[in-house]
């Protein structure tokens, strides 16, 4: 059988493929332990050290290499990602909820929303800046113009996640609640929302990470205060140092922390409802 | 008759659920794109634009070799990266989506592919520099292995480095949808074909590939949309040698040439429209997903 | 409580889905404190009817009255009508106890926690779920889910409970037991059950009143005996799955069918001429036996034991299948040889004749 030989060959191929995906990252991880401040962002490693990590937190004596301007940028990025996450998830849940009923123009509305993730960031960023400058006449800020473009980008993801969840959702439990005299609003709170909560968490995770890492839209639309990706982009044109690699490792660890929190919340949400019910029983 | 009112009520409710999202998209997505089209006909003075309509910026674009060249570079890189993500991604998707029997293993492999996305996009791009540079990891390894005598310089700050970088960053968007479609194939069909004596090649071309085509199209749309709107990878890995339409927009905005940036924006929009519409003609996604 | 007092009334209810008419001008008066079963084949609109009464869907035209009030424009949660779903639709994130207490806890009425808990506990006992209060729906059996669904509804003390094929998801064994239980539970409370089903046995066994639904219309309603003994149309007779139906021609005082021409005494008005004889009124005779009525030659195909009776299948010359139901309390069944020809006959007084021409 041909597939008998095909499978091991492809297994090796997939291993190489994953190495291809991770290769640069491994190199980056290694070089983040380069000696400092003289060691450059290339091989060979002169001497292993955690200099660049200390440099990142301002724990090294001043040198000619300026520390990355990450402190305030990080705070801004986190705030922006949080604002975006809340707005995009609320909009996504509402729109997906509306899509459970058939209505005229559903196709157009669907594509209008999905367009938000399809249009490249350069275009939405540019267009929003033009509108802000020439029509509305406001200054661009990360919490105004950049924020709205971030929501344009992440709302479709939240919408699609919720749509997939609600497609599999059995509406008869809601009808059952209504027939027990429970109002639609309370039914949503007590039945629908707890049941779709894992989906809501995924939508939030999507919106947060996409916004946190968003770059092209922010570049045009955020005005003078930099977000984290903009701070990193700023280092592109100048000479790069291993501190940016150390920073990359740190952000990855942060992402994993975020993922872990998500995983824990996910696990809890499954058990939470049961526990609450049991506690109410005891009381 | 008053029986119509409750259903009108429900429609009103649906309307209220949709209104915020729809208004958001019209105000902050449709209006900005309209604005780009509009501004592309504005008059550009040295540091400002005014709303006197003119075709000057359009004429400038098409008479400039650099700008038209950027259009061709964008098209060329897009086609190359699209082809590479497909060629490199398909076998991986085939293994993950179809050949791996255990659902757990296949999920783990997919998660492995997605993990790098939790590292900042810009840092992932930047990570290619120590990889491809003259004293980079690849040159060192190749020299150690004795495959080359002197380092290959064309690896970094060239079109090649941009292609390698983009392929690595976007290939997962091709693998995901294809693996998803392959995972949905009923294994019994393949078994049945095998019982009828069909070889793997025949089964692949007659059954597997056609069934995975919607995944290929979705992947191709993802990759195309992202590559066509790119500017950061080319900026970081080509040393400004490769200019895509996106790069032109960035530099024009940087020098406050909003009208020219808008012209390029309109061209990019049209290009994207044609590409996405073309892909959607191959496979009607509404029926497939 | 007076029986036969109306609990809900449908007036000219019509519901269309595009070109499809699910409910076609239905009018129906439901007596209070009764078990009403609504029999209809799939696609007859029976689920649509329940959903319209419950308020999940709106009729295109017509009015619904419940306990003397017009509730047509009232949303589902303000109607006070219980609903038991075919798939039970239990709240998967809540325990059995909290499922049952859900309506009281989240309703608009102010009920103290103590009262909620005591009423829920009463319900648990009523449906016999003691000891399972802390399980979640995934951890209990189909029959138990059924009881939770019922208890959850009954705790709200509705005057009307709609049951959408409530036994459909249970296995045959359990179905029989739940039939009795449902009737017993209902009799203990002052409540009307409207039970929708596609099973003629279930509807006849359970209903105090049976209504037959076909293509969005109620074509007959009455006691199970009335429906069973005097179906008002060939369609009803067909759904009951207890009648051999023969096409033929009705003229003046006789019916001309595959069994020859038989005299007819009573005819039900119907656009098509049909002759109906119940399975258990049809008997098989050997050639030469004395016959009680018309003679229909047919070959024996097979027979099937159904516990207390045996059904034999015959085939006539024009390939029509005829069934003979022999109740074992009337003595041992005859042995028939497969492929051999017998004569089927019946007492013509037991036949029901439908026709456009009403006999004198």
CA atoms of A258 and A205, how far apart (whole Å): 8
Q: Is A5 exposed, middle or buried (0-12, 13-18, 19+ CB in 10 A)?
A: exposed
Give the residue on B whose Cα is nearest the Cα of A252.
B119
Which residues have a Cβ under 8 Å from the Cβ of A27 and sit 6 or more positions away?
A: B127, B130, B131, B136, B137
Cβ under 8 Å to C: B residues 2-41: 2-3, 5-7
Give the pLDDT score at C3.
44
Both tokens of residue C337?
A: 């040889």
Average pLDDT over residues A184-202: 91
Looking at every residue in chain A, the average pLDDT score rounds to 85
C352: part of which helix (H) or strand (E)? strand C352-355
Which residues have a Cβ under 8 Å from the Cβ of A274 and sit 6 or more positions away?
A: C93, C94, C95, C136
CB atoms near residue A194 (< 10 Å): 19
Both tokens of residue C97?
A: 């106890």
Average pLDDT over residues A98-125: 90
Using the beta-carbon criterion (under 8 Å), do A179 and C76 form an inter-chain contact?
A: yes
A18 neighbourhood in chain B, CB within 8 Å: 109, 112-113
Which residues have a Cβ under 8 Å from the Cβ of B224 and sit 6 or more positions away?
A: B78, B82, B272, B275, B276, B279
How many residue pairs from chains B and C have C-beta atoms closer than 8 A?
A: 14
Residue B223, phi then psi, degrees to nearest 5: -60, -45
Give the residue on A whose Cα is nearest the Cα of C151.
A180
Cα–Cα distances (Å) from B194 to A68, B91, B183, C250, C266, in that order, read 60, 20, 18, 62, 67
Using the beta-carbon criterion (under 8 Å), do A186 and C153 form an inter-chain contact?
A: no
Of A17, A229, A252, the CB nearest to B92: A17
Identify the CA nearest to A76 among candidates A273, A211, A195: A211
Give the pLDDT score at A61.
80
Report yes or no: B120 at the C interface, CB cutoff 8 Å: no
Q: Is the pLDDT of residue A145 over 50?
A: yes
Name all domains of chain C by residue range, CATH numbers in brackets.
6-234 (3.40.50.300), 242-355 (2.40.50.140)
Using the beta-carbon criterion (under 8 Å), do A177 and C82 form an inter-chain contact?
A: no
Q: Is the peptide bond before A37 cis (omega within 30 degrees of 0)?
A: yes
Of C81, C94, C97, the CB nearest to A179: C81
A110 versus B119: which is more confidently predicted?
A: A110
Q: Model confidence at A178, in pLDDT bands (50, 70, 90)? A: very high
Identify the CA nearest to C302 among candidates C279, C286, C321: C321
Percent of chain A topping pLDDT 90 = 38
B265 neighbourhood in chain A, CB within 8 Å: 122-123, 126-127
Q: Model confidence at A282, in pLDDT bands (50, 70, 90)? A: very low
CA atoms of C112 and C334, how far apart (whole Å): 67
Q: Is the pLDDT of residue A77 over 70?
A: yes
Q: Model confidence at B285, in pLDDT bands (50, 70, 90)? A: low
Give the pLDDT score at A101.
85
Which residues have a Cβ under 8 Å from the Cβ of C194 and sit 6 or more positions away?
A: C30, C36, C37, C38, C50, C53, C160, C161, C162, C163
Identify the CA nearest to A257 among candidates A78, A54, A7: A78
Q: Is the pLDDT of residue B10 over 70?
A: no
Give the pLDDT score at A3.
58
Q: Model confidence at B287, in pLDDT bands (50, 70, 90)? A: low
Of C59, C61, C73, the CB nearest to B5: C73
Given a contact as 3+ CB pairs under 8 Å, which chains touch B? A, C
DSSP state of A189: I
Contact B235, B247 (CB under 8 A): yes
Encode chain C (360 residues) as per-residue pLDDT tens digits. Answer: 444 578 889 999 999 888 888 899 899 988 888 899 999 888 888 889 999 999 998 899 999 999 988 999 999 999 999 999 988 999 999 999 999 999 999 988 788 999 999 999 999 998 889 999 999 998 898 889 989 999 999 999 999 999 998 887 777 778 888 888 888 888 888 899 999 998 888 888 888 999 999 888 888 888 989 888 888 888 888 888 888 888 888 887 788 888 888 888 778 888 888 888 888 888 888 888 888 888 888 999 988 888 788 889 999 888 888 998 888 888 777 788 888 889 888 888 888 888 876 644
Of C54, C106, C149, the CB nearest to A186: C106
Both tokens of residue A265?
A: 């919340």
Q: Minimum mean pLDDT among A71-80, B15-24, C264-273: which range?
A: C264-273
Distance from CA of C84 to the nearest CA of A (A): 8
Q: Is C234 helix (H, G, I), strand (E, B) or coil?
A: helix
Give the residue on A whose Cα is nearest the Cα of C106.
A182
Name all domains of chain A by residue range, CATH numbers in brackets.
2-56 (no CATH), 71-240 (1.10.3720.10)
Q: Is C25 helix (H, G, I), strand (E, B) or coil?
A: strand
Give the residue on C whose Cα is nearest the Cα of B6.
C73
β-pairing verdict for C283-285 and C341-345: antiparallel
Distance from CA of B227 to the nearest CA of A (A): 9
Both tokens of residue A275?
A: 């526990």
Give the pLDDT score at B69.
93
Using the beta-carbon criterion (under 8 Å), do C61 and B3 form an inter-chain contact?
A: yes
CA atoms of A184 and B205, how far apart (whole Å): 52
Q: Minimum mean pLDDT among B205-209, B275-279, C39-43, C89-93: which range?
A: C39-43
Looking at every residue in chain B, the average pLDDT score rounds to 87
Q: Is the pLDDT of residue B51 over 90?
A: no
Identify the CA nearest to A200 among candidates A185, A188, A212: A188
Which residues have a Cβ under 8 Å from the Cβ of C232 and sit 6 or more positions away?
A: C219, C220, C268
Contact C213, C45 (CB under 8 A): yes
Average pLDDT over residues B173-179: 92
Give the residue on C whose Cα is nearest the Cα of A190.
C106
**B185-202 confidence digits (pLDDT tens):** 888 888 888 888 888 888
Q: Is the pLDDT of residue B14 over 90?
A: no
Give the pLDDT score at C50.
92
Report yes or no: A186 at the C interface, CB cutoff 8 Å: yes
C105: part of which helix (H) or strand (E)? helix C96-106
Q: What is the DSSP string of A5-74?
A: HHHHHHHHHHHHHHHHHHHHHHHHHHHTT--SSS--SSSSPSS---HHHHHHTT-SPP-SSPPPSHHHHH
Of B28, B129, B269, the CB nearest to A123: B269
What is the ipTM metric for this complex?
0.86
Helix (H), strand (E), coil (C) string for chain B: CCCHHHHHHHHHHHHHHHHHHHHHHHHHHHHHHHHHHHHCCCEECCCCEECCCCCHHHHHHHHCHHHHHHHHHHHHHHHHHHHHHHHHHHHHHHHHHHHCCCHHHHHHHHHHHHHHHHCCHHHHHHCHHHHHCCCCHHHHHHHHCCCCCCCCCCCCCCHHHHHHHHHHHHHHHHHHHHHHHHHCCCHHHHHHHHHCCCCHHHHHHHHHHHHHHHHHHHHHHHHHHHHHCCCHHHHHHCCCCCCCHHHHHHHHHHCCCHHHHHHHHHHHHHHHHHHHHHHHHHCCHHHHC
Ranges assigned E (strand) in C270-348: 274-278, 283-285, 296-305, 309-316, 321-327, 341-345
Using the beta-carbon criterion (under 8 Å), do B35 and A259 form an inter-chain contact?
A: no
Give the residue on B whose Cα is nearest the Cα of C60.
B3
Both tokens of residue A41?
A: 């962002």
B9 versus C112: which is more confidently predicted?
A: C112
Distance from CA of A78 to the nearest CA of C (A): 33
A44 neighbourhood in chain B, CB within 8 Å: 140
Given a contact as 3+ CB pairs under 8 Å, which chains touch A? B, C
Of C98, C108, C153, the CB nearest to A277: C98
Identify the CA nearest to A173 among candidates A185, A190, A161: A190
Q: Minimum mean pLDDT among A141-155, B152-166, C250-264: which range?
A: C250-264
Give the residue on A whose Cα is nearest the Cα of B260.
A126
A80: part of which helix (H) or strand (E)? helix A70-98
Q: Is the pLDDT of residue A283 over 50?
A: no
Give the pLDDT score at A257.
85
**A256-273 confidence digits (pLDDT tens):** 888 888 888 877 766 655
Q: Model confidence at A134, in pLDDT bands (50, 70, 90)? A: confident
Residue C104, phi then psi, degrees to nearest 5: -70, -40
Contact B61, B267 (CB under 8 A): yes
Of A175, A184, A274, the CB nearest to C95: A274
Using the beta-carbon criterion (under 8 Å), do C54 and A278 form an inter-chain contact?
A: no
Both tokens of residue B253?
A: 């905005």
Of C77, C82, C95, the CB nearest to A182: C77
Given a contact as 3+ CB pairs under 8 Å, which chains touch C? A, B
Q: Is C268 exposed, middle or buried (0-12, 13-18, 19+ CB in 10 A)?
A: middle
Of A176, A195, A281, the CB nearest to C134: A281
| Greatest Cα pair distance in chain A | 74
DSSP state of A120: -
Give the pLDDT score at A270.
63
CA atoms of B266 and B269, how far apart (whole Å): 5
Using the beta-carbon criterion (under 8 Å), do A43 and B136 form an inter-chain contact?
A: yes
Distance from CA of C175 to the nearest CA of A (A): 22
Both tokens of residue C19?
A: 């070109």
Q: For the structural domain made of B59-288, what CATH number should be given?
A: 1.10.3720.10
Average pLDDT over residues B151-172: 89
- pTM of structure: 0.83
Give the pLDDT score at B272.
93
Q: Which residues of C lie closer than 8 Å to A, measured between beta carbons?
A: 54-56, 75-83, 85, 87, 89-95, 97-98, 102-103, 106-109, 113, 133-134, 136, 149, 152-153, 156
Using the beta-carbon criterion (under 8 Å), do B2 and C62 form an inter-chain contact?
A: no
**A32-60 confidence digits (pLDDT tens):** 888 877 777 777 788 888 888 888 887 87
Give the pLDDT score at A208.
92
């Amino acid at each position: 059988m041909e597939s008998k030989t095909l499978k091991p060959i492809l297994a090796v191929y997939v291993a190489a493929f994953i190495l291809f995906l991770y290769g640069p990252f491994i190199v980056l991880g290694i070089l983040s332990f380069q000696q400092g401040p003289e060691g450059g962002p290339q091989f060979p490693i002169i001497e292993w050290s955690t200099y660049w990590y200390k440099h990142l937190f301002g724990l090294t004596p001043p040198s000619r290499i300026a520390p990355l301007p990450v402190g305030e940028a990080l705070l801004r990025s986190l705030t922006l990602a949080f604002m975006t996450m809340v707005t995009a998830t609320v909009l996504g849940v509402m729109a997906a909820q509306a899509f459970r009923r058939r209505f005229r123009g559903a196709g157009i509305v669907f594509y209008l929303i999905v367009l938000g993730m399809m249009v490249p960031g350069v275009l939405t960023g540019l267009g929003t800046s033009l509108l802000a400058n020439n029509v509305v006449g406001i200054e661009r800020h990360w919490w105004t113009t950049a924020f709205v473009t971030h929501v344009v980008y992440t709302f479709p993801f939240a919408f699609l996640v919720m749509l997939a969840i609600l497609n599999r959702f059995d509406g008869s439990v809601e009808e059952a609640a209504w027939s027990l005299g429970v109002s639609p609003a309370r039914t949503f709170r007590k039945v629908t929302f707890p049941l779709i909560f894992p989906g809501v968490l995924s939508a939030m995770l999507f919106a947060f990470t996409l916004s946190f890492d968003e770059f092209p839209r922010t570049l045009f639309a955020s005005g003078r205060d930099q977000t984290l990706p903009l701070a990193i982009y700023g280092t592109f044109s100048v000479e790069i140092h291993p501190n940016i690699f150390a920073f990359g490792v740190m952000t990855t660890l942060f992402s994993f922390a975020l993922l872990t929190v998500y995983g824990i919340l996910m696990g809890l949400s499954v058990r939470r409802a049961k526990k609450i019910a049991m506690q109410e029983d005891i009381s | 008759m008053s029986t119509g009112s409750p259903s009108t009520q429900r429609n009103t409710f649906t309307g209220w659920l949709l209104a915020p999202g729809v208004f958001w998209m019209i105000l902050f997505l449709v209006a900005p794109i309209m604005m780009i089209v509009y501004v592309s006909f504005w008059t550009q003075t040295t540091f400002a634009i005014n709303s006197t309509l003119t075709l000057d910026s359009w004429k400038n674009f098409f008479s400039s070799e650099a700008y038209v060249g950027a259009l061709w570079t964008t098209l060329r890189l897009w086609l190359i990266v699209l082809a590479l993500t497909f060629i490199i991604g398909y076998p991986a998707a085939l293994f993950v989506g179809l050949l791996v029997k255990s659902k757990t293993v296949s999920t783990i492999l997919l998660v492995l592919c997605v993990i790098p996305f939790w590292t900042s996009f810009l840092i992932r791009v930047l990570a290619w520099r120590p990889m491809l540079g003259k004293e980079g990891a690849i040159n060192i390894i190749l020299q150690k292995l004795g495959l080359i005598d002197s380092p290959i310089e064309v690896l970094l700050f060239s079109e090649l480095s941009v292609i390698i970088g983009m392929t690595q960053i976007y290939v997962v968007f091709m693998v995901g949808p294809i693996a998803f479609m392959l995972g949905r194939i009923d294994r019994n069909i393949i078994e049945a074909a095998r019982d009828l004596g069909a070889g793997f090649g025949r089964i692949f071309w007659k059954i597997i590939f056609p069934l995975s085509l919607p995944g290929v199209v979705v992947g191709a749309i993802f990759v195309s949309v992202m590559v066509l709107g790119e500017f950061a990878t080319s900026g970081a890995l080509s040393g400004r040698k490769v200019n895509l339409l996106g790069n032109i927009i960035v530099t024009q905005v940087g020098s406050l040439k909003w009208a020219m940036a808008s012209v390029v924006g309109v061209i990019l929009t049209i290009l994207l429209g044609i590409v996405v519409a073309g892909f959607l003609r191959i496979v009607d996604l509404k029926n497939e997903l | 409580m007076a029986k036969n007092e109306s609990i809900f009334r449908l007036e000219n209810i019509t519901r269309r889905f595009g070109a499809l008419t699910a409910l076609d001008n239905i009018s129906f008066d439901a007596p209070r404190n009764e078990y009403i079963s609504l029999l209809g084949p799939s696609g007859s609109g029976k689920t649509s009817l329940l959903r319209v009464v419950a308020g999940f869907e709106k009729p295109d035209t017509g009015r619904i009255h419940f306990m003397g009030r017009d509730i047509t424009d009232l949303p589902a949660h303000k109607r006070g009508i219980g609903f038991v779903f075919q798939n039970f639709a239990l709240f998967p994130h809540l325990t059995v106890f909290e499922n049952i207490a859900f309506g009281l806890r989240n309703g608009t009425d102010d009920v103290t926690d103590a009262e909620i808990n005591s009423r829920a506990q009463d319900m648990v006992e009523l449906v016999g779920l003691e000891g399972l209060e802390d399980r979640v729906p995934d951890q209990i059996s189909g029959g138990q889910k059924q009881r939770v669904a019922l208890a959850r509804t009954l705790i709200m003390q509705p005057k009307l409970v709609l049951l959408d094929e409530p036994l459909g998801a249970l296995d045959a064994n359990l179905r029989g037991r739940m039939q009795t239980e449902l009737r017993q539970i209902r009799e203990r409370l002052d409540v009307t059950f409207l039970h929708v089903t596609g099973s003629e046995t279930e509807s006849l066994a359970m209903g105090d009143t049976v209504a037959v639904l076909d293509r969005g219309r109620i074509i007959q309603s009455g006691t199970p005996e009335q429906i069973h003994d005097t179906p008002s149309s060939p369609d009803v007779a067909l759904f009951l799955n207890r009648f051999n139906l023969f096409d033929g021609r009705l003229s003046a005082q006789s019916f001309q069918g595959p069994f020859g021409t038989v005299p007819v005494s009573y005819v039900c008005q119907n656009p098509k001429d049909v002759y109906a004889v119940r399975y258990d009124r049809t008997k098989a005779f050997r050639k030469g036996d004395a016959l009680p009525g018309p003679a229909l030659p047919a070959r024996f195909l097979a027979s099937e034991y159904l516990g207390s009776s045996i059904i034999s299948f015959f085939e006539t010359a024009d390939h029509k299948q005829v069934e003979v139901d022999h109740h074992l309390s009337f003595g041992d069944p005859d042995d028939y040889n497969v492929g051999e020809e017998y004569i089927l006959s019946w007492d013509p007084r037991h036949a029901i004749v439908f026709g456009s021409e009403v006999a004198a």
